[in-house]
């Protein structure tokens, strides 16, 4: 739209000073003639803009003319430009809008705060993906966010964890939440709050019915309720294991939430430096929702031994024996 283009020209001139008409045309993806017509429109509207001819000429604003974001501090400017690194905008299709918004903010920032904002954007990077998490499946949030912003009921085809078939639900969305790089739809189903992982939504379709949220309940409150249900889920199996100290640092990163406390050295004291090499062992305590989940520890090979409970040791022994049999059966003959 022309109004958006005129505002973009104005903000670019405030940020850059004198800008050649050809550069403006390239940035805005229009012809140079269109840029000159837009400059005439700005001038007719009372904006003190002028053009200089020649090799070093260009289009500029009279000195002293600008719009300003008053009262913004250096830390506030940094916070805005670090926000651009969160990664959520890409999934929501808002990268272009974010870039445009930040250009407008940069143009309106008081001059003393611009260097701090630019430095924050180039020195702080937030990567929401975990180490060794593998590639994430593509997530289509278009229908989900449309339902959220238009307050419409949503019909989804959803696959629960551990299942292969899709189930059909009609839900009342509260909103979308991005946690550790994973998107969730927070919604009521039959009046009860429920989490739906966006990458397990096979299809989504808006209905003609308006959303039916519980009165006075907002997204933040529902999310906290559901989050507590997940985090406070009781662990059925407590496991004690020993692990070689030179593998401990890796184990802490991989096992994450399964650990119930800091590692302990062989003498029972807390290990102060989990990353130091050596031939000794450290003791770790873990909690799993089901006994079979202890198979996760097989990835550490003979660097980890489950000590207790006996049932967990049996699961590990049976899994290791089955794995040995698979490789023995397929071993090449001598």
Q: pLDDT at position 285, please?
A: 92
Cα(128)–Cα(79) distance, rounded to whole angstroms? 17
Sign of CA dihedral 89, 92, 93, 94: negative
The sheet with strand 237-244 has its strands ordered as 264-265, 281-288, 237-244, 304-308
Nearest to 274 by CA among 303, 250, 299, 241: 250
CB 35 within 8 A of CB 9: yes
Angle, nearest 10°, between helix axes 74-83 and 95-108? Answer: 160
Dihedral angle at the C-alpha atoms of 309, 313, 315, 320, nearest 10 degrees? Answer: 160
What three-state secondary structure class fits 150? helix
The C-alpha atoms of residue 233 and residue 287 are separated, in whole angstroms, by: 11
What is the structure's pLDDT at 135?
61
Nearest residue to 169 (alpha-carbon basis) of 135, 133, 207, 137: 207
Q: What pLDDT, on a 0 to 100 scale, did the predictor assign at position 92?
A: 67
Q: Give the whole-angstrom CA distance, residue 235 versus residue 158.
A: 26
In the three-class reduction of DSSP (H, G, I as helix; E, B as strand; rest coil), residue 60 is classed as strand
The residues with which 204 forms a beta bridge, in sequence order, are 156
* The pLDDT of residue 124: 64
What does the alpha-carbon distance between residue 12 and residue 103 come to, in Å, rounded to a whole number?
A: 8
User: Average pLDDT of each block of 10 consecutive residues along the chain (334 residues)?
Assistant: 73 79 85 86 81 78 64 62 59 68 71 71 66 64 88 94 89 89 90 92 93 91 89 79 90 84 66 48 89 90 93 93 85 62
3 state DSSP class of 57 = coil
- Find all residues with CB under 8 Å of 272, minimum gap 6, and list them: none
């Amino acid at each position: 739209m022309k109004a958006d283009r005129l505002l973009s020209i104005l903000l670019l001139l405030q940020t850059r000073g004198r800008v050649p008409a050809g550069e403006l045309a390239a940035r805005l993806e229009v012809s140079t003639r269109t840029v000159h017509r837009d400059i005439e429109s700005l001038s007719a509207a009372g904006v003190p803009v002028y053009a200089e001819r020649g090799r070093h000429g260009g289009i500029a604003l009279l000195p002293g003319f600008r719009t300003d974001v008053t009262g913004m501090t250096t830390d506030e400017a940094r916070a805005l430009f670090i926000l651009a690194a969160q990664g959520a905008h890409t999934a929501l299709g808002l990268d272009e809008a974010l870039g445009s918004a930040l250009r407008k903010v940069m143009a309106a920032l008081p001059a003393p705060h611009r260097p701090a904002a630019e430095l924050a954007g180039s020195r702080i990077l937030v990567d929401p993906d975990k180490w060794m998490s593998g590639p994430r499946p593509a997530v289509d949030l278009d229908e989900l966010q449309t339902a959220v912003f238009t307050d419409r009921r949503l019909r989804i085809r959803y696959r629960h964890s551990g299942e292969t078939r899709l189930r059909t639900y009609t839900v009342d969305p509260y909103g979308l939440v991005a946690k550790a790089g994973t998107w969730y739809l927070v919604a009521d189903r039959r009046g009860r709050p429920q989490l739906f992982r966006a990458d397990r939504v096979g299809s989504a379709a808006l209905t003609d019915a308006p959303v039916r949220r519980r009165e006075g309940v907002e997204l933040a409150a529902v999310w906290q309720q559901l989050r507590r249900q997940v985090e406070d889920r009781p662990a059925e199996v407590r496991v004690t294991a020993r692990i070689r100290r030179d593998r401990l640092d890796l184990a802490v990163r991989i096992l994450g939430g399964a650990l119930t406390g800091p590692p302990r050295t062989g003498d029972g004291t807390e290990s102060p430096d989990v990353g130091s090499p050596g031939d000794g062992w450290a003791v770790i305590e873990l909690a799993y929702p089901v006994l079979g989940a202890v198979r996760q520890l097989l990835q550490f090979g003979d660097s980890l031994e489950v000590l207790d409970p006996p049932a967990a040791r049996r699961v590990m022994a049976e899994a290791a024996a089955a794995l040995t049999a698979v490789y023995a059966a397929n071993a090449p003959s001598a």
